[in-house]
Amino acid sequence: MKKSAQPTINDVARVAGVSKKTVSRVINRSPLLNDETRRKVEEVISDLGYIPNPQARALALRRNFLIGLVHDNPNAQTVMNVQQGMLEALHGTEFEMVVRPLNRGSATMLDDLRHFLERQRLFGVLLMPPVSENDTVAELCDAIGCRYVRMGSAMLDSDEHMVASNDREAVRAATDYLIAQGHRRIGLVSGPHGFRSARERRTGFEEALSAAGIALPRSMVADGNYTFESGMVAAERLLDLMPRPTAIFSSNDEMAAGVVHVARQRGLDVPRDLSVIGFDDTPIAAHIWPPLTTVRWPIASMARSAALKLIADPVDNDENVVQEPSMFLSTLIRRASVAPPRD
């Protein structure tokens, strides 16, 4: 007796009355589908005895089931948070993650990226800032047919290629909080030049001061590079001023921790002598003393959404698919590092 042919993904799609892409999402355990569609397709797969062949699918797609993470970021905690979010999205699917640091200042950066994407035959790639802020990088991904999603502090691309946060508005709200507490001499530890996040956060800070009629002398701004050490250097400069600031907004938590460290070295009490606010809400914010008031940056949620966008089809209008958001709101987390000024 002749053995019946092995059922294919086309058979599953036909019997279930869905598209091949929907079947593929069920196979990959994508959370993008509604429960009813998932159950229906899983029942058909079981009834037909369909067995997916990931190697054959990879050959047909000319892509491996790999999602890349490309970054040039000095803050290791930020990179770890992004990896956490991506891994949550990929858990239980056939996709794996591969990480590639780049030097955005290198003359061979684009060639290095092209070589990485083509060698790994990635299914898609998440571009972290500041690499993501380079339009040429996005154009390269598009040219070689590699799906991409950009992460940023403002919308830089269309929804299917973007996860962004409202850094400017969030920092403005944080600065408004300091002003409402009575602070008028407020210093800024800014982020590194070339980072859109640093520019957005500084703009939000400046807008809040301007709206309150508070001047911002150049001496009240100190540059940092998102590291603890640069926060210490910036704090030394700001706290040498006469009169010194009564509050400092720092563009990330690492630098804010450096500010708190220097303040304590100088015998200043935080927050009675100096209020401090950071940005990120990394573990360091809750672990230092006093616990740090900060802006919670939902970066793990952004990374999770980005990964889900990548394993979905960005041009698919399947009604069974739950669309991932592109904009994520940062929120102020009030802890013990802010108080009204003494004078």
Is the domain of 202 the same as that of 284? yes
Opening angle at CA 87, ends 161 and 299, nearest 5? 55
Q: Which tokens belong to 39?
A: 């159950």
Residue 321 in domain: no
Helices (H), the chain: 9-16, 20-27, 35-48, 54-61, 76-90, 109-120, 135-143, 167-180, 196-211, 228-239, 253-265, 283-287, 299-311
The answer to whether residues 278 and 256 touch, using CB atoms and an 8 Å cutoff, is yes
Indicate whether 148 belongs to any domain: yes
Helix boundaries (H) for 8-53: 9-16, 20-27, 35-48
- DSSP 8-class letter at 7: P
Instruction: Give the separation between CA 203 and CA 221, rounded to whole angstroms.
Output: 12
Q: Whole-structure pTM over 0.85, yes or no?
A: no
Per the domain annotation, does 136 fall within a domain? yes
| Domain co-membership, 269 together with 174 | yes
Cα distances from 170 to residues 60, 166, 208, 306, in angstroms, run 45, 6, 11, 21
Q: Are residues 178 and 269 in the same domain?
A: yes
Task: Let me know if residue 280 belongs to a domain.
Answer: yes
Residue 2 within a domain: no
User: Tell me, what amino acid is at 122?
Assistant: L
Question: Is residue 199 located within the same domain as residue 288?
Answer: yes
Whether residue 238 lies inside any domain: the answer is yes
Distance CA 152, CA 161 (A): 11
User: d(Cα 282, Cα 309) in Å, to the nearest integer?
Assistant: 25
Do residues 81 and 99 both lie within one domain?
yes
Same structural domain for residues 186 and 275? yes
Q: Which 8-state DSSP code applies to residue 147? A: E
**Do 189 and 243 reside in the same domain of the chain?**
yes
Identify the CATH number of the domain in which residue 18 sits. 1.10.260.40
206 with 280, same domain: the answer is yes
> Is 217 inside any structural domain?
yes
**What's the CATH number where 73 sits?**
3.40.50.2300
How many other CB atoms are found less than 10 A from the CB of residue 191? 29
Amino acid at the residue 305: S
Judge if 284 and 303 occupy the same domain: no
If one counts the domains in the chain, the total is: 3
**Sign for the pseudo-dihedral over CA of 236, 240, 246, 249:** negative
Tokens of 279: 């940005």
| Residues spanned by the domain of 20 | 9-52
Burial class, 48, CB count within 10 angstroms (exposed 0-12 / middle 13-18 / buried 19+): middle
Shared-domain flag, residues 293 and 306:
no
> In this structure, are 176 and 249 located in the same domain?
yes
> What single letter denotes the amino acid at residue 134?
N
Do 197 and 288 reside in the same domain of the chain? yes
Q: In this structure, are residues 230 and 258 in contact, taking their beta carbons and an 8 Å threshold?
A: yes
In a domain, 30, yes or no: yes
Within 10 angstroms of residue 198's Cβ, the number of other Cβ atoms is 23
> Which pLDDT tens digits describe the chain residue by residue (343 residues)?
344 567 888 888 889 888 877 887 787 666 667 888 888 888 888 888 887 655 455 444 455 789 999 999 767 888 999 999 999 999 888 889 999 999 988 999 999 999 999 888 899 999 999 999 999 999 999 999 999 999 999 999 999 999 999 999 999 999 999 999 999 999 999 999 989 999 999 999 999 999 999 999 999 999 999 999 999 999 999 999 999 999 999 999 999 999 999 999 999 999 999 999 999 999 999 999 999 999 999 999 999 999 999 988 544 455 555 678 999 999 999 999 999 998 7
Give the DSSP per-residue string, 207-272: HHHHHTT----GGGEEE--SSHHHHHHHHHHHHTSSSPPSEEEESSHHHHHHHHHHHHHTT--TTT
